[in-house]
Every structure is written in structure tokens, then in C-alpha cells.
Structure 1
Amino acid sequence: MMPSARFADLEGASVLITGGGSGIGAALTEGFARQGAKVAFIDIAKRPSTALADRIENQLGRRPLYLKADLRDIEALRAAVAKAVEAHGDVTVLVNNAALDDRHAVEDVTVEFWDNNHAVNLRPHFFAAQAVAPGMKRAGGGSIINFTSTSFLMNFPDMPAYTAAKAGVVGLTKGLAGKLGADSIRVNAVAPGWVITERQRELWVTEEGLAAHVAKQCIKDVMQADDIVGTVLFLASDGSRMLTAQTLIVDGGYL
């Protein structure tokens, strides 16, 4: 269920979301559109992204701008940012959401696999921030929200390249916050727990495993993508004006 809170300053804001076509990203795209923001989102998968834009337009009467790009291609990422700026004005909210959480064994990781993993899970966070920062400075400030994960805090054994990247996102967040704060640009991270998206159900969810996980949460509900939206809206809004360099864990109290 989408959050009921309204953030007046997000109406008309230029928002850019990476990986915004499915999963948590799709919920974020819809959530910002419901706030009246001008939303652009980058995703590599055209069919679900177009379907999402169609659905939001039909429901809300405003269409998010879908930008097809492979975030591993930094020039394509920069071009997508430029198109978002051309359509909606300088980006004042950037959500670095895109990720790839494929499982992998230590002994199977090659240099190519490692580099490709970080080219999705860490590197674009920096270069997207680099691309939007000048516009945020012109606008008098902005908010960058980087997605990390609780997995690197849990000694999760089955994806070391991913957890290394997600730990790196926290360091990047703090470094960017220190650098950009003088220009009223806030940089924070969100660490979701186990959010049960369609991808999770298809690849990894079992009835027993999910029940055991939820049993360890303080809040005994299965986490859905919509449950992350409110936290991100808050971080994007002036309600968090003096909040920066932080990582907010949204996991139902698992940790």
C-alpha cells in the first residue's frame, strides 16, 4: 500500500530514478508520481517499463518519462540524465535504486563477473550523482538517495561481490555527503531488508524461508516494495532538511 503522507515540496520536483521499471524501483516511480513530481526513470528492460508508464498515466493522468539505458555504459547514463533534464529541468531528487543481486559462490567469481557486478551495483551511483550535482547546485540544493542493502550487515554468504558493492554504497554516501553538503545537497542511503518482489518470488522465496525470516522481524508482516516508498519520499523532501550522511534501515526490525 502506498504511503498516505503528502510532501508539498515534491509536487513539480524533477526526480530521476535508476532501475525504476520494476520491483522497488517501480513502486518508487509510482510513489513520486502520486506526489505530483515530474518523474523520469532509467531501466534496461523496455516492456515492463513501458507498461508501468502506461499504467501510471492511466491512473494518475501524468506519464513518467522512461529512459532506456544500460547503467554499465556511463555515457548512456549521462545521456539519459541529460534527457531527463531537458524534459523536466534540473534534477533535484536522484534515487540510485538499480541493483543486481544474483547469487554467486566465491570459487566461481571471475574478474569479469566481479567488474560487471560492481558496474551495476556501485559504479553508476557515483556517476549518476556526478551528472546531477551541477544542476542541483544551480537549483540551490537537492537530495541524493542511494540504495544499499542489509545483506552486507548479515554476513550473507551467497553473494560476496554484491555485498561488497553494497557496503561501498555506504562509504560513497558519506563521502558525497561531506563534499556536496556545502551546496545544500543531502546524500543518504536506504538499506531495505527482504522485500518480496516478483523477482524474489520467482528465484529465491520458499514458504519456509520466508516464514522464518518474518518470524525474526519485530513487525510480523511480509515486506512489499511499497513499504520502502515512504522512507524515500521523506529523504527526498524538506522534511529531512538537516539529515545527511545517514543510512536508514527499513527491515521491519530484523536487525
Structure 2
Amino acid sequence: MTTPNPNARYPSLVDRSVFITGGASGIGATLVERFVEQGARVGFIDIDEAAGQALAAQLTSAGARNAPLFVKADVTDIDALFAAIDRVRAANGPITALLNNAANDMRHSIEETTPQSWDKGVAVNLRHQFFCAQKVAPDMREAGGGSIINFGSVSWMLKQGGMPVYTTSKSAVQGLTRSLARDLGHANIRVNTLVPGWVMTEKQIRMWVKEDSYEEIARGQCINKKLMPEHIAAMALFLAADDSAMCTAQDFVVDGGWT
């Protein structure tokens, strides 16, 4: 569990029903922690049942105003995804903040990509974001508004190679955001893309960060500090809260100035 955030408090997030995908580890786990700290009613899903249950138990035992609800679900299984949303809605009330965080940035080459692996990559990195938004939009309409936060990536902006399905999917997220913002704006539903840079999660450090990676970061970022999950969560809180009431169809890049 990360250190409690001493910074901004958002009264509008207290008791707000929030749904987070991929919330058991990495950026997602920090999102769950920070929204719970704000007093929100948090439901989150992940395929890692052990990590999800452990996080929910840890936050509950720490005395959260509202105990988070974890539901095991695979975002590529739309029926299971919808069932999880229904369960969270039944427990926490109509969902008015959606954080489409789940993704998988496994490296892959052009040569090894097949039609099947392409479809699988799109399903985990893009498709579920649309269907989550479709599913929760009625809740937000009835509530008089809401916030959908789609998670992108700077990888395609930096012309990063070695994972064409991931970068293609993440570039498409920003197009999805803008189309949803137009279609849902009349209902006071805001849709934005939160675009992280290279965030130093445990997974990134274990799998992708090499000896010379910090030199690359120092050359690329304007602010030569490690980008951490809490930096991403701080932007997510603002975008989910009423404080960002007139922010929609935008890309909010948190990357230390790399792009």
C-alpha cells in the first residue's frame, strides 16, 4: 500500500460510486487506494483474484469510510464484465465515475503477430473501454452526469516499437474518447483520456526497466524524477471530481514532459 496522499481532497467524491478496471496491481491498485481515501464507494475488477481480494481486505481493515468491493472478472469477456458492473451497481449504487484502466503492454513483434493475437490485444487494450462506457452511461444519464476516464499511453506518441497491437489500441483510445464525449455530452457526461508516461510500477521495473532506462528517462522527461502511480492517480481524482466539470474530450498527459 502506498503512503497516504496528503494533498487535495474532493468533497464531490465522497460516497460517489466509482468503477475501476484492472485495479488489483500497479496504477490500478493506487487508483483504488486513492479513491477509497476520498470516501468514494469503489468497485474494482481484475483477473488476479488473490491480489484483488488482498487489496480490498487491506483497505477495509485500515478503516475505510466505504469498504471497496472486488469482483474477479476478465475485461475481454464482455458478459463477465457486464455482470461485474451489475454487481458493483447493486452494492454501491449507480456508477457515476468510470476508470478504464485495464491493459496489457506485453511486447510483441510484427512478425509474430497473428489475427488471433491482434484481436486478443485489441480486446484487452481497447474494446472493453467502449463497452464499459456503454454499460454505465444509463447510470450517469439518470444521475444527471458523470465522468468517464479512458487510459491511454504515450508509447505511440513516442513512436515506440516492439508492440504494434498495444500502441495501435492506445492511439485509438483517444479517438474513442472524443467520439464518446460528443455523443454523451448532452447528458453532462464528461469523457477524457488520461495518458501516463513511463510509470515505475513493480511490473515495469521487473519486466522492462533496464540499466540504461533511467538515462533514457532523464533525456526524455523535462522533470528528471521517477513517474509514479500516485502522479497518475492525482490526475484521475481531479477528472472524476466535480472540479473538472467543464473538462471533456481532452487528453491529460502525465509524463514529466516527455511528449
Query: Do these two structures clear the TM 0.5 threshold for a shared fold by scoring above it?
Result: yes
1:124 is aligned to 2:164: no
| Secondary structure at the counterpart of residue 155 of structure 2 | helix
How far residue 201 of structure 1 moved from its aligned partner, in angstroms, is 1.1
Structure with higher helix content: 1
Q: Which residue of 1 aligns with 2:226?
A: 222
Q: 1:22 aligns with which of 17, 22, 25?
A: 25
Contact 1:20 1:28 in 2 (8 A): yes
Gaps of 5+ in 2: none
% identity of equivalent residues: 49
Structure-2 residue corresponding to 1:89:
93
Aligned to 1:157: 161
Q: Deviations over 1:181-235 (max 9, x none)?
A: 0000000001100001111111111132123213421111111111111100000
Q: Is the 8 A contact 2:222 2:258 kept in 1?
A: yes
The one-letter amino acid paired with 1:56 is: L
Specify which of 201, 208, 218 is matched with residue 204 of structure 1. Answer: 208
Q: CA RMSD in A?
A: 1.0
Tell me which moved more, 55-64 or 167-176: 55-64
1:1-255 to 2 correspondence within 5 Å? 2=5, 4-61=7-64, 62-255=66-259
Of the structure 1 ranges 158-167 and 50-59, higher mean CA displacement relative to structure 2 is found in 50-59
State the 1:74 CA deviation: 0.4
Counterpart-to-counterpart distance in 2, 1:162 and 1:77 = 21
- Structure 1 gaps of 5+ residues are none
CA contact (8 A) 2:52 2:70 kept: yes
Q: Separation in 1 of the partners of 2:255 and 2:60? A: 31
Q: Per the alignment, in what secondary structure is the counterpart of residue 234 of structure 1?
A: helix
Q: How many Å separate the matches in 1 of 2:193 and 2:6?
A: 19
Instruction: After TM superposition, give the deviation of residue 49 of structure 1 in Å.
Output: 0.8
Alpha-carbon distance between aligned partners in 2 of 1:91 and 1:6, rounded to the nearest angstrom: 20
Contact 1:3 1:230 in 2 (8 A): no
Q: What amino acid sits opposite 2:189 in the alignment?
A: I
Question: How far apart are residue 3 of structure 1 and its match?
Answer: 5.5
Whether the 8 Å contact between 2:217 and 2:224 is mirrored in structure 1 is: no
In 1, Cα distance between equivalents of 2:194 and 2:12: 21
One-letter amino acid of the structure 2 residue matched with residue 41 of structure 1? F
What SS does the aligned partner of 2:156 have?
helix
